[in-house]
Structures are given as C-alpha cells and as structure tokens.
Amino acid sequence: MARARAACFAGVLLAVLLSPASAADTYTVDGLVDVMAAIYVDPRKADCGGIHLKKDFLMLTPTTVNGTNVTDAPWRTIATGNNLDEKYKVLTGDKVQATLRNASTDSTGNRRLLSDAPEDELIDLTLTEPVTGAKEIYTNETIRVRSTIYIIETCGWKASTTVAAVRKLFWKNESSGAPNIEDYHSMCSYGKVVANGSETYIMGPIQVPCSGTVSSGVIKYSYDGSKACGAAEQFAWRMAGENFAKSIGLGDWMNATQRRRIVTVLPKEVTCGWAGLGSVGCGGRACTVYIKGGYGLTLTVQMHELGHTQGLSHAGRGLDEYGDRSDVMGSTGGADGYLCVNPGNQLRLGWNSPIGYLTPATVNEAPTNTGQRGIWRLPNMAFTDVNHVYINMTVPGFPYANHYVSFRARTPTYDAILSNDYNNRVHIHQFNGTTYDRDYNRTLLMALLGPGQWYMSRFVGYGAGTAAGGALNFSVISIDSGREAIVRICRASVATEAKIPGGDDTCCDGIDNDCDGLMDLDDPDCASATCDIARSPPPGTTARSPPPLGPFTPTACQPTPTSLTTPTAAASLPLTTASPFAPGVPTPDCSLVPSSPRLAAAWCPGALARAPALGALAPVLPQPARAAAAQPPSSPTSVAPAEPQPAQVSALPAVDSA
C-alpha cells in the first residue's frame, strides 16, 4: 500500500502545524483532486491471471492551506480504499476543500518530517467546483491522445526500459508489425481515437535523486525512494520528468495542451506494490499514470491505465471487480496483446451504437434485423461499431438493470487474445452507466453463451399489469464462427404461468408469458389449468408460441431497419439515470439458480439452421472514424450503480455465467 508523506508547513503555517495535537488540531486545504486506481499483481496466485486486487488513492494538490495561497505544491494522499470516486463523489480534476486532522506528531506533539509518517485523517471533503469533461467522449470529432512519457533512474536502479523500446510499443511505424498502442486506440475505438508519435514525447533515462525534499516554498515533503512509494516519491519522480521536458523546450506545448497524459515508467526495484497506477478521468490540463518495471512494456497494463484516464472503471464479473476477461479494464488471463472493451464501456465513451434499442414494452414486439420477431443477428464486434442490442429496462419508479447483448470472436488484430471460453460466444452484460461525468456505474458480465445455451435474468416483479421489471431471456440459436450469432430475446412478464381464480389468467391468454418457449396448456406450469374458451391475445399483443421447428430463414441480405442502425449525427449518451433496484427490493446474492433444461430444448430445436452469411467482412486496422448513431434521450441527473442480479441459467447444456 502506498503511504502518505508527512508535510512540514513553513512561514505563516508553522503556528498551526507545529502546535501540539488536540481535538481541534485540524486544518483546511483547497486544491485539485486526483482519483488514482491501481493494478496489483500477486505472484503467489498465478491462476488469477495477474490482475485481481484493487486499491484507490485520493490525491490532493493544494492551492491554499488555511486560506494561504501556495503554488506548484506537491500532491499528497488524503484517502485510500475502494471505489473512492463513488464514495466521495469526486473526479480527477475537481476542485475540493478538505478538512484534515493532524496525524503526524511525535512524542512531543510536534509534526514529524519522516517520509513514512501516517497520512492525516480526512474529516470532510467538499466539492467546490466540479470539472467538466472528465471523460473523453467521442462527439463526432476525433479524440487525440497527447502524452509525455518519462523513463526514470533512481537510487542506483537502472531504467526498466529504453526510449527505443517504448517508441516501439507506442508507435505503429516503429513497431515492426508488433501490437502497439497507436493501433490499439484506433482499432478498439473504430478510428475515433488517435494516439500517434506526433503528440507523444518519450524521454529518458532521467536521473532522480534517491532522497530529498520536494516543495513549493510553503509546503515541503521529504521523500526516500529507496524505502517508500508514497505521494512524495511519486511527486518527485513525476516532477523530475516534467522539469526535464521543460528544459528541452516542451514547456509551451505542455502549458497549452489539455488532457495531457503524464506517464512515468519506474525501475522494477521501487517498492510500489502495484504494477500500474492511473488517474480515473482526465479533466483539466493533465492526468497521471505510473508504470512499474517490466510492465512498462506490457501492452495491456499500459492500455488499462490509459483506459482509466479516458474515464473507464473496472470491468467485473460476479464478485471479482476485474473478472471480465473480455475487456482490458478487467483481466486478460495473463496474456498480452490486443483486447478491446465490452459494449457498455464502448458506449460510455461514444465508440459504438446499438443495432437495436429496446424497452420493457418493446422487447417482444420491436422490429429486428432478421425480420423475425424477437430474433436478432449480432455481428462480431470486430467488424462494426453498430454491434450490440441494448435493452433499457429502466422505467421511472421501477428500476431494473439494463442489459447489453453482443458477440465476440478473435481476429488476428481485434480481440486477438480473447480467451477460449470467451471466444465465439454471445456475451450478456449488465450496465446502468452513461457518459455523464458523475456516473460511477461499472459493467458486469453476467453470462457467456454458446449455441443452444440460454440465460435468464433475475425476475423482479412490480405487480400485475405493470409494464416494467420481469425477466429477460436470451437464447442462442446459432453461431457462425468468427462472424455472427443469431439470438432470441424475450421479456417474461411473470415468473411462471398460472391460472389464478379471480386474478390474472396466464394459462389461457395465447401468450408465452414466462418466456420458456411453451405457451398456455403446453407449459407444465399450467398442468392443472383448463381453458373453457380458446382466447386470443389481448388487443395489440402478438401471441408468442414456441419457435417453429422449420429452419430459420430470414430473407437473404434483408436490409437492417435504417432507424436502428444507420449512424447519424453524434450525440452524448446519458442513457439511464435510475438504480437497478428500488428501495425495498431485496438485495440479491450472487449465486446462480439452476433451472429446468426444457427451455433450451424448446427454444433451440436442432432444426433451426444457421442464418445467411453477412458477406465478406474483415476487421480493418485502423478503421476510419464514424459518426455515432443518435441515441434515445435521457437525463443525467441522478445515477446509481448497477447491482449484480442473480439469474436462472440452463442446467443442460452448461452455461458459463457469472
């Protein structure tokens, strides 16, 4: 764990900070906050694929202390823990006021000057001026990533890499065809983000004294890089790089550049417990990334930390915050190479748009891109930025987790290191996130489905006749390896069909209400029911019986509805603003509830044939930028995090689900 450095305040502040500690021994600091997320690597747990434990650090760069102005002050740690951006509702670049209680006192009650002194206690943190544009969202104008990269030598430890090696990692024209960060950005963003050598400056090795003091003239930090890796050491390493860059004539460019990434590559011997540490978001002039040792040449670690600076959080699965191995913001399973991000994280950055946008009222009835009700064709995400079905289940007053359905398959470039159990699978994610800066939601992988497999979300009932809640069922009809998947999506309005005296009669209404593929008396749920009069579905409702046993034959080359897929003018994308669970709805556990395999048999009969091919498709690297599709309107006023929802999954065949 990084340790905060003690501070010695000079001049007019000595009376405050060198006085005996007491209950009133507090002080206020105004400044800019950085939310830093770390990747930890535990070599004792090789089966964890390297990345598995997270810690956040809240760093504060002071501008005033007790009302006295300071300039170019070193930052300090004011809090550590998990999900600090959500806990304190702050983002990198925010202006805040912190109230702190002195913790660094010796036996005489005076402030200590030791670099390993404990951090002062954070009493209160107030947001005084929120940053705007903390996330880098594509809005029909190419995003350019600008960076200064410093390779550090200190304490007699040699640099962990060379300028030539880092240039090869970052720049396509020096990569000799190897995976590189320039292509990584262009490919995974479909050409919307550019990071090239013209705006990336790589310098080193830069010598940094092993120990000393960093100060602004008012605030001083003592540091010792041979023993610690706290705020003072980090500041000393970074400022040595910044001063070197200014000395070679980059000062004017640095001052004029917004959202500059400051990447500091450290020797492998430093005592930092993390592999990488990066700002979450990049509002204002600059944001910060640290990479330790050989991880400086690890493509996925670099992209993970740069992903944080774009505003992305970790990609989870089950109880593992890093558990989604389809996303570089999760875990890569130990492999290094190209791995992009899931559709929810793409949407958060404005990189993609949905094939279909569904609501509880339209899931079962909306036009699809196959011409058959409820059946969707999902292209490999490598081929197009119009690449998923988005089901917005949020209805005002009836919160529910939103779902994303996509198909992922390895290519020689895009998703080249996608693991076998994720490859050629339909991916089901939950995500209630938006592009709104103050949205702290994270994506959660719920299931991985192969041909003939299905997944059903947790049923959330809001009462009879309510067009909200229920459950979503996803079944895979077929997969054309590497190219596309055909899936059926159904919303269940009831958990089971039943004939209730004096109540709803779902056994005789001509609808498959629970989405198990069996309608009315064909459903064992209705075994004791009798229907005196054959009923038609209610007005405006189409009967949903089990799929036909004949082959699946949508019209060959049938055009996709323009309203669903044609990219139009770009739009910022706050999609939903509600929590997935309302007060009073029981908090689900994360266990899975096996269910009857009859759904798979009813919904995925062997006679269902593969859909017509989409034609010659191949991922292009890099791909030209495209305008994002117009999205449904929504308000970014109040966002709460999505919670994992337990679900029913088919017992046979097996489903790899979280």
Q: Is residue 120 part of a domain?
A: yes
Residues 423 and 511 in one domain: yes
- pLDDT per residue over 26-84, tens digit each? 889 999 888 888 776 544 343 434 444 457 888 898 889 888 888 777 888 888 888 78
> What is the domain range of residue 546?
346-658
Domain boundary among 300, 317, 334: 317
Residues 576 and 471 in one domain: yes
- Which of the listed ranges 410-414, 555-559, 561-565, 595-599 does the model predict with the highest average pLDDT? 410-414
Q: What is the mean pLDDT of residues 79-99?
A: 87
Q: What is the mean pLDDT of residues 501-513?
A: 72
CB-CB neighbours of 557 under 10 Å: 9
- pLDDT per residue over 274-298, tens digit each? 888 888 888 778 899 999 998 888 8
Q: What is the mean pLDDT of residues 405-434?
A: 94
Residues 176 and 108 in one domain: no
Lowest mean pLDDT segment, chosen from 125-134, 509-518, 535-544, 567-576: 567-576
Single out the residue of 282, 239, 251 nearest to residue 152, CA to CA: 239
CATH of the domain at 222: 3.40.390
Q: What is the mean pLDDT of residues 131-135?
A: 73
**Of residues 442 and 579, more confidently modeled:** 442
Q: Is residue 326 part of a domain?
A: no
Whole-number pLDDT of residue 499:
64
Q: Is residue 323 part of a domain?
A: no
Whole-angstrom Cα distance, residue 38 to residue 33? 16
Residues in the chain: 658
Cα–Cα distances (Å) from 220 to 6, 232, 243, in that order, read 9, 9, 18
CB-CB neighbours of 411 under 10 Å: 18
Residues 469 and 570 in one domain: yes
Q: Is residue 2 part of a domain?
A: no
Angle at 439 between CA 586 and CA 122, to 5 degrees: 90
- pLDDT per residue over 431-487, tens digit each? 988 777 777 788 999 999 999 999 999 888 877 667 788 899 999 999 999 999 999
Single out the residue of 202, 206, 207, 92 nearest to residue 147, CA to CA: 202
SS3 assignment for 551-599:
CCCCCCCCCCCHHHHCCCCCCCCCCCCCCCCCCCCCCCCCCCEEECCHH
Single out the residue of 445, 456, 402, 441 nearest to residue 422, CA to CA: 445
Whole-angstrom Cα distance, residue 87 to residue 94? 14
Q: pTM (2 decimals)?
A: 0.72
Whole-number pLDDT of residue 373:
87
Contact present, 378 and 557 (Cβ < 8 Å): no
Q: What is the mean pLDDT of residues 484-505?
A: 80
- Kindly report the backbone phi and psi dihedral angles of residue 267, in degrees, each rounded to the nearest multiple of 5, phi listed first: -60, 155
Q: What is the band of 3 on the pLDDT scale with cuts at 50, 70, 90?
A: very low
Whole-number pLDDT of residue 74:
82
Contact present, 552 and 484 (Cβ < 8 Å): no
**Of residues 418 and 580, more confidently modeled:** 418
Q: What is the band of 523 on the pLDDT scale with cuts at 50, 70, 90?
A: confident
Residues 377 and 465 in one domain: yes
33 DSSP β-pair partners: 60
Single-letter residue type at 306:
L
Cα–Cα distances (Å) from 437 to 33, 85, 139, 140, 260, in that order, read 15, 11, 14, 18, 18
Residues 483 and 428 in one domain: yes
Tokens of residue 456, six digits: 């059903």
Whole-angstrom Cα distance, residue 92 to residue 298? 25
- pLDDT per residue over 221-277, tens digit each? 789 999 999 889 999 999 999 999 999 999 999 999 988 999 999 999 999 988 888
Whole-number pLDDT of residue 332:
81
Q: Is residue 549 part of a domain?
A: yes
Phi-psi region of 482 (alpha: psi -120 to 50; beta: other; left: phi over 0): left
- pLDDT per residue over 199-216, tens digit each? 899 999 999 999 998 775
Sign of the four-CA dihedral 137, 138, 141, 142: positive
- Kindly report the backbone phi and psi dihedral angles of residue 146, in degrees, each rounded to the nearest multiple of 5, phi listed first: -115, 135
Q: Is residue 20 part of a domain?
A: yes
- pLDDT per residue over 312-354, tens digit each? 888 999 888 889 999 999 988 778 999 999 999 999 999 999 9
Tokens of residue 548, six digits: 């036909």
CB-CB neighbours of 278 under 10 Å: 30
Q: What is the mean pLDDT of residues 621-625?
A: 34
Residues 157 and 100 in one domain: no
Single out the residue of 75, 29, 115 nearest to residue 287, CA to CA: 75
**Of residues 166 and 6, more confidently modeled:** 166
Residues 39 and 110 in one domain: yes
Angle of the 181-188 helix axis to the 163-170 helix axis, nearest 10: 20
Residues 270 and 385 in one domain: no
b/e sequence 496-535, b meaning 16+ C-beta within 10 Å: ebbbeeeeebbbbbbbbbbbbbbbbbbbebbeebeeeeee
User: Taking all residues of the chain, what is their mean pLDDT, rounded to a whole number?
Assistant: 73
Residues 301 and 383 in one domain: no
CATH of the domain at 82: 2.40.50
Q: Is residue 589 part of a domain?
A: yes
Tokens of residue 255, six digits: 């001052």
- Coil/strand/helix, residue 265: strand
Whole-number pLDDT of residue 462:
79
Helices and strands per DSSP (H, E), number in the chain: 10, 29
How many domains does one find in the chain?
Answer: 3
10 pLDDT above the threshold of 50: no
Residues 105 and 210 in one domain: no
Q: Is residue 330 part of a domain?
A: no
b/e sequence 73-109, b meaning 16+ C-beta within 10 Å: bbbbbbbbeebbbbebebbbbbbbbbebebbbbeeee
- Which of the listed ranges 139-148, 310-319, 423-432, 543-552 does the model predict with the highest average pLDDT? 423-432
- pLDDT per residue over 390-403, tens digit each? 999 888 888 888 99
Tokens of residue 453, six digits: 């497999």
Residues 482 and 578 in one domain: yes
Whole-number pLDDT of residue 56:
82
**Of residues 393 and 499, more confidently modeled:** 393
Contact present, 206 and 241 (Cβ < 8 Å): yes
Whole-number pLDDT of residue 552:
28
Domain boundary among 129, 160, 180: 129
